[in-house]
Amino acid sequence: MRRKIFLGGLFLLGSLMVFAEHARLTRSGIIIVGSGEHVRAFEPFRGTIDGGQGYADAVNRYKKTFGDAVNVYCMIIPTAVAIYCPDEARGWTKDQRSTVRNIYGRLSDSVKAIDLFDTMDEHASEDIYSRTDHHWAPLGAYYAAKQFASLAGVPFADLSTYEKHVIHDYVGTMYRFSRDAAVKNAPEDFVYYVPTDVDYTTTYIRYQLGKNRKVVGEKEPEEGNFFYDYEDGSSAAYMTFMHGDTNTTKVKTSTRNGRRLLILKDSYGNAIPAYLFHSFEEIHVVDCRYFTKNIVHYVQKNDITDILFANNAGHAYAAVTHQAYNRYLEQ
């Protein structure tokens, strides 16, 4: 439970300061709180308390399909509004926690749920979400990956063993979404972490997109970097991981434990795999919007032992997500 104290127009959330008197809603529907370098922008959540049945059904279907041969995990990732929205702005968003926990309550007992709310609350005073982008920050993904690795019973490397990289003067998608000058004038550091003491190779199948970002073809598998470099000031810094979403990715590591992970994700999931190179022999990453093959054949061909659903709460609530996951079982 978060400890919240009101002091003359501002809230103290743990050691995090949120300037409630500056909470406002832009014409485009983006919530903005704080001022100056403390500005934070986030999207409202639109889900209802009893929503998400389709997502739970899809996850359960995967577990039923693969049975005891594959461990299935469900990680619904909170978005920033669930962690940082002050009481004064709660009328502009729905209660995300009740929706997510409703989905968890509908999962089969054989699916392993990963509830991140307490973890995100505990670390809310750290830079676990970007202030100027709709994604979480790589540090938030680290804490989530740590919780998953513990549940999965695999090794996990402490963040102190990683190499820290910083992209300065980052302003992400929330300026484009809001067109609010306060967001543009509050750049932040984008900090990401590169694993050490583990060897890995990354292979991509790149998708070719046509109208409405529909997949019209794919390239032959090719090796590439897992991390891509962006200059200071680049608004594309979150694409550091795998250069974005429009590919299927396979990472082969020097870890030897017989465990091979498939991550089914949206863009929030992009920041997770690198924290698991010490945990799995292979990590396969599939985006919920672009995969074109039969997932049963893919799992069998690659001897997958573990499947992690890693979607942010908005995607988990949206019908298009569970429809895609069901289609992957059939196409």
Percent of the chain scoring above 70 in pLDDT: 94
End-to-end CA, the chain: 43
Name residue 261's beta-bridge partners: 283, 306
**Of 292, 286, 290, 296, nearest to 265 (Cα)?**
286
User: In what helix (H) or strand (E) does residue 17 lie, and over which residues does it extend?
Assistant: strand 16-18
Kindly indicate the confidence band of residue 59, based on its pLDDT and cuts at 50, 70 and 90.
very high
Tokens of 178: 């809001």
Tens digit of pLDDT for each residue in 226-265? 999 999 999 999 999 999 898 999 999 999 999 999 999 9
User: Which range has highest mean pLDDT (14-18, 85-89, 193-197)?
Assistant: 193-197
Q: What is the mean pLDDT of the chain?
A: 92
User: In what helix (H) or strand (E) does residue 24 lie, and over which residues does it extend?
Assistant: strand 24-25
Kindly indicate the confidence band of residue 217, based on its pLDDT and cuts at 50, 70 and 90.
confident
**Distance between CA 110 and CA 96 in Å, rounded?**
24
* CA angle 50–54–59, rounded 5-degree value: 115
Please say if the pLDDT value at position 306 is more than 50.
Answer: yes
Q: Check residue 212 and give its pLDDT.
A: 81
Better pLDDT: 144 or 212: 144
Q: Check residue 8 and give its pLDDT.
A: 34
**Distance between CA 84 and CA 16 in Å, rounded?**
9
User: In what helix (H) or strand (E) does residue 309 lie, and over which residues does it extend?
Assistant: strand 306-312
**Distance between CA 260 and CA 308 in Å, rounded?**
11
**Of 114, 112, 285, nearest to 202 (Cα)?**
285
Q: Check residue 101 and give its pLDDT.
A: 94
Please say if the pLDDT value at position 76 is more than 70.
Answer: yes
Q: Check residue 211 and give its pLDDT.
A: 84
Please say if the pLDDT value at position 20 is more than 80.
Answer: no
**Of 230, 250, 252, 251, nearest to 239 (Cα)?**
230
Tens digit of pLDDT for each residue in 260-288? 999 999 999 999 999 999 999 999 999 98
Q: Is 257 helix (H, G, I), strand (E, B) or coil?
A: coil
Q: Check residue 210 and give its pLDDT.
A: 86
Better pLDDT: 203 or 14: 203
